[in-house]
Structure 1
Amino acid sequence: MTGNVGGVGGGRPVPERDPDETIIASRRELARRQSAPRQTARSRHERRMARARDVRRALGLTALSVLLPGLGLLWTKRRMIGLAMIGVALVGAISFAIIVSSGGLIHGAAQLLTRKGLILLLVFTICGGLLWIAGIVLTALTTTNRRWPEQTRWLHRIFATLMCLIVAAPTAYATRDVIITRNAFDQIFTKRYTTNTDAVTPADGSNPWKDIPRVNILLFGSDAGADRYLQRPDSLIVASVNTVTGDTVLVSVPRNMGHAPIPASDPLHKIYPNGFVKLPGQTDPAAGLMESIWQAGNEHKKLFPKNDPSPGLTATRDAVTGITGLKIDYTATVDLSGFQQLVNAMGGVWVNVKPDPNSLTDPKKGIPIGGRIINGQIQPGSIVGYIKPGYQKLNGFQALWYSRSRVASSDDQRMRRQRCMINDLISQVNPFQMVQKFPSIMQVAAKNIRIDIDQDKLPAFATLANKMKNGNMRTVDISDPVSNSNPDFTKIHALIKKAITEKHNKKAPTPDKGKTKTKKATASSSSSSSSSTTTSAISDTANSC
């Protein structure tokens, strides 16, 4: 019997395997096993490289959203959101540019400082910053791969946070400055009160002074102190500005001038119908002089309308109108202690110091700091220092004493220095420095400056200030030590009218040209000082500085 060879129960025979095939199969299996680690290592390297590319792409797109809100989203699945963000940002930027450039850069920028402008600027700053940050965050979330290791995801989060801070920091500073400006302006700009109903008011638009040939502004330096009654004028300067050319006439009103005419529209006219004079029974040596008229207005405040916020200022302004013959349209009041802080906040002011050659002290020492006169004599030890002659940068303390020192010089010299200080400050205003020290300047201004200009008219006055910067300044000296007690106001009015109506010399130095000229001057001797000090009643301000 043949039987079932190789099986049980008679199945198909099992073929015998060729030894050569077995060897080949074994070699193939061995080769496969040997090559498997290399293939696994290669796939891991490729994954690491792909992840690195993915991370670099995520970081790059997140950084792109710092340049423009949502820019990085254009290369992600949220492309439409990115386009929408960019569109909103561009529309806002174009609208902002149109506002700023309308009517000229100065006029347009000042529009942002009006009440509505500051609100718009605050909304624009906050919303713009939030939109920008949202674009960065959304880009970071969109480009993050959840399969990344935790360490890689944290790296991306930290990078996105830094990108947000790059946008958030300037946004926070800008928001702070807008809020500071708004709060300061609420205190600086006060409602104008005047007994004159025809005070000039600039129009809106790019040419606000078209129908107003001239505007008169009273610059009032307040000399308040613990040893003084409320406030008193330390310096009174009228700036009469030609709104077309920017040429300005400065008229200093002596604080020791008496018999100031009080207009009939002022309530004090009832008490002083023949001018502001010393009344019977008054023992104050300053009674009847301009420096005490603020006090007189406050003492008789019951005569003034109840809605008059400052009878002293009203009386002072109206008396200045009587003295100069110029209707005062606006007043700017600066407390002198605040003036010191303001100059410091601005970084100082360059001044060509020229002492009075007829000084009671040695002119070579310069202008005295401090000082007290009793019975016509300077009290020993009361002068605490000197501002040396020459072109130099003065800090706030020095600038204040340069402007007000009078123990060793005449009131004429003192008023000349005050006009020079105005000339130098106008010519040296540096917008970049103002921006750098903006919060400090605003805080000082809020405490020490009051201006009765409508805040919404700031664009018009910004345009005017820019014209003044490029115009000539002319000085009118109405002080006369002999006749100050009883001056000839008809003659004074005629002198001021002449200074205003005569055309300014186009070759006369502007504030900037005057600054360049005095910078080269040394003013190191009393002779150079005296030769440049004008004795003419009408002169170019820069020439006397």
Structure 2
Amino acid sequence: MTTLARPRTPATSAVPGGLIQERPMRYPDASSPQVMTRRGWWLVVLNFLIPGSAQAVAGNRRLGRIGLGATLALWVLVLLAVVGMVLWRPLILSIATNPLALLAIEVVVVLYGILWIVLALDTIRLVRLVKVRPAPRVGIAMLSIALLVVAGGGAAYVARLTDITRNTLGSIFSASGPPVAPSDGYYNILLLGADSGTGRDSMRFDSISVVSVNADTGRVIITGIPRDLEGFPFVKGSPMAKLYPDVHTGHASATCGWSGAINQLNTELDVCRDGAKIYPDAKAQGSTPGVEATKDAAEGLLGIDIPYYAFIDMAGFAALVDALGGVDITVTERLPEGGGPSYEGQPVNDWAIGWIEPGAQHMNGDTAQWYARSRKTTSDWDRMKRQRQLQEAILKQFTPANVLSRFQEVASAGQHLVKTDIPSSMLGYLTDLAIKSKSEAITTIELTPANQVDQTTPDIAYVHELIHSKLHPPTPTATPKG
């Protein structure tokens, strides 16, 4: 019986020319330096632009699928983040400011960076440099190394920035708790500046203001409270209102030496009263008795709810200004730098360590700090105006481009500059409001004699009305025609 033989399919090695023509990237003509050179350039560039593609067309397909899958997943996440910033910005910002989410992002970036490096090294193997023409061989090798450094270095840089962000947010916004709803349309934050810089002997709340941010528009109103203001009430129901049911009168003594001024509350609670008993929950909430008493005083004085505070140490203020690259300030009068006279009537030139001259200036941190502190030749009201001027100048410097280009310096300065009880759960929403506020002008209110506010016996009803009129200005009505 005769058996017909089946036509035999030629082995791969039997028809190399056909495979070379059909799949030249995987089965190149290794005898042609021109073909290998052209293939080498393509593989290196393809792997950089689409990690995993070089392996998919010329190497280990399984490794290629892993690389392409990871790359596609990363692209999808980036696309969702971009679309989310347009459609769901508060949600994306909440994720971007959440420590656990940042840790996850950091891990993903590191793993992807490692995968990219592995793919780049494998691509160099696939190129088979010994088959490439001598001159381009050096170019392909140098390009491969350069792109490897860019890929690995870029991933390391992003991971580093993510780690800095996570650590900075964790150190500043350590308080936990659910976000609070806006009060009468505003988020109100007590901003305290403690002047403990060089030449000072203690930590005092020398700058006291309340930042009110409109919950819808991001509009910012800053109310300045003079540090020596007296005769203020505490908000009803607060621990200090039980001690001072009418207004704060102070309790001068030889031991304490403090008066009824609002900036003396920190001393009163820390030195002359058992602040921990008066405000037993302050420490657990990321605050202090002195801060809580000042917050209750500001609420009673202004007639608004103030759930949070932010504490800025002037000793680290200069570092923040330097980290931002300085600030632009127009100085209206000559101001001395220095702690002040050591005896009554000492000439200014004997104690001034320098002068801030009038005119437009680009100030570094040290000059800006003295600009905010100097008051020996001017009044406290002038000093308050300068502090508000500096606050606005610093806010203008917080542009995305400036912060990103100086991110590590800004984060490092902020980590040692600010303490707050704002919970991390509020960061995304407040960041969104900060972005909105860039298009809004900042309104300032100074509770000074210029606004008919007496510093020893302020008219509290008038102050409440003043604040309300600024926070809720009347809506303009259209004038009827004819």
After TM superposition, the score normalised by the length of structure 2 is 0.81
Query: What code does the residue aligned with 2:70 have?
Result: V
More divergent stretch after superposition (275-284 vs 126-135): 275-284
Match of residue 276, structure 2, among 297, 302, 310: 302
Instruction: Please report how far the alpha carbon of residue 115 of structure 1 lies from its aligned counterpart in structure 2 after TM superposition.
Output: 1.8
Partner of 1:370: 338
2:251–2:258 Cα contact (<8 Å) kept: no
2:198–2:315 Cα contact (<8 Å) kept: no
1:67 counterpart = 2:41: no
RMSD: 3.3
1:339 counterpart = 2:310: no
Query: What code does the residue aligned with 2:331 have?
Result: V
Partner of 1:216: 188
Q: Deviations over 1:310-335 (max 9, x none)?
A: 11111111111122122112211111
SS in structure 2 of the partner of residue 73 of structure 1: helix
Q: Deviations over 1:232-258 (max 9, x none)?
A: 111111112222233222210000111
SS in structure 1 of the partner of residue 32 of structure 2: helix
| Pair 453,146 (structure 1): closer, same or farther in 2 beyond 3 Å | same
Instruction: Please report how far the alpha carbon of residue 124 of structure 1 lies from its aligned counterpart in structure 2 after TM superposition.
Output: 2.4
Partner of 2:458: 487
Instruction: Please report how far the alpha carbon of residue 102 of structure 1 lies from its aligned counterpart in structure 2 after TM superposition.
Output: 1.5
- Aligned equivalents of 2:176 and 2:165: distance in 1? 20
Q: How does 1:43-54 map to 2 (within 5 A)?
A: 50-51=32-33, 53-54=35-36
SS in structure 2 of the partner of residue 102 of structure 1: helix
Match of residue 82, structure 1, among 39, 45, 64: 64
1:454 counterpart = 2:423: yes
- Aligned equivalents of 2:132 and 2:329: distance in 1? 65
1:268–1:297 Cα contact (<8 Å) kept: no
SS in structure 2 of the partner of residue 407 of structure 1: coil
- Aligned equivalents of 2:306 and 2:189: distance in 1? 6
| Pair 129,200 (structure 1): closer, same or farther in 2 beyond 3 Å | closer
Partner of 1:239: 211
| Pair 333,146 (structure 1): closer, same or farther in 2 beyond 3 Å | same
Partner of 1:530: none
Instruction: Please report how far the alpha carbon of residue 368 of structure 1 lies from its aligned counterpart in structure 2 after TM superposition.
Output: 2.4
1:221–1:334 Cα contact (<8 Å) kept: yes
| Pair 422,93 (structure 1): closer, same or farther in 2 beyond 3 Å | same
More divergent stretch after superposition (78-87 vs 62-71): 78-87
2:310–2:421 Cα contact (<8 Å) kept: yes
- Aligned equivalents of 2:208 and 2:367: distance in 1? 20
Partner of 1:144: 128
- Aligned equivalents of 1:426 and 1:159: distance in 2? 42
1:500 counterpart = 2:471: yes
More divergent stretch after superposition (79-88 vs 65-74): 79-88
| Pair 404,104 (structure 1): closer, same or farther in 2 beyond 3 Å | farther
Q: How does 1:6-25 map to 2 (within 5 A)?
A: none
- Aligned equivalents of 2:225 and 2:126: distance in 1? 70
| Pair 440,226 (structure 1): closer, same or farther in 2 beyond 3 Å | closer
Q: How many residues align?
A: 438
Instruction: Please report how far the alpha carbon of residue 154 of structure 1 lies from its aligned counterpart in structure 2 after TM superposition.
Output: 9.7
| Pair 376,236 (structure 1): closer, same or farther in 2 beyond 3 Å | farther
Partner of 1:123: 107
Instruction: Please report how far the alpha carbon of residue 342 of structure 1 lies from its aligned counterpart in structure 2 after TM superposition.
Output: 0.2
| Pair 147,394 (structure 1): closer, same or farther in 2 beyond 3 Å | closer
| Pair 304,280 (structure 1): closer, same or farther in 2 beyond 3 Å | closer
Aligned-pair identity in percent equals: 27
| Pair 148,168 (structure 1): closer, same or farther in 2 beyond 3 Å | same
- Aligned equivalents of 2:293 and 2:176: distance in 1? 14
1:95 counterpart = 2:52: no
Instruction: Please report how far the alpha carbon of residue 65 of structure 1 lies from its aligned counterpart in structure 2 after TM superposition.
Output: 1.0
- Aligned equivalents of 2:71 and 2:229: distance in 1? 60
1:115–1:456 Cα contact (<8 Å) kept: no
Partner of 2:329: 351
2:200–2:339 Cα contact (<8 Å) kept: no
Q: How does 1:20-419 map to 2 (within 5 A)?
A: 50-51=32-33, 53-79=35-61, 81-104=63-86, 107=90, 108-109=92-93, 111-144=95-128, 160-191=144-175, 201=180, 213-224=185-196, 231-282=203-254, 286-299=258-271, 300-309=274-283, 310-355=288-333, 366-373=334-341, 374-375=343-344, 379-419=348-388
Instruction: Please report how far the alpha carbon of residue 86 of structure 1 lies from its aligned counterpart in structure 2 after TM superposition.
Output: 2.2
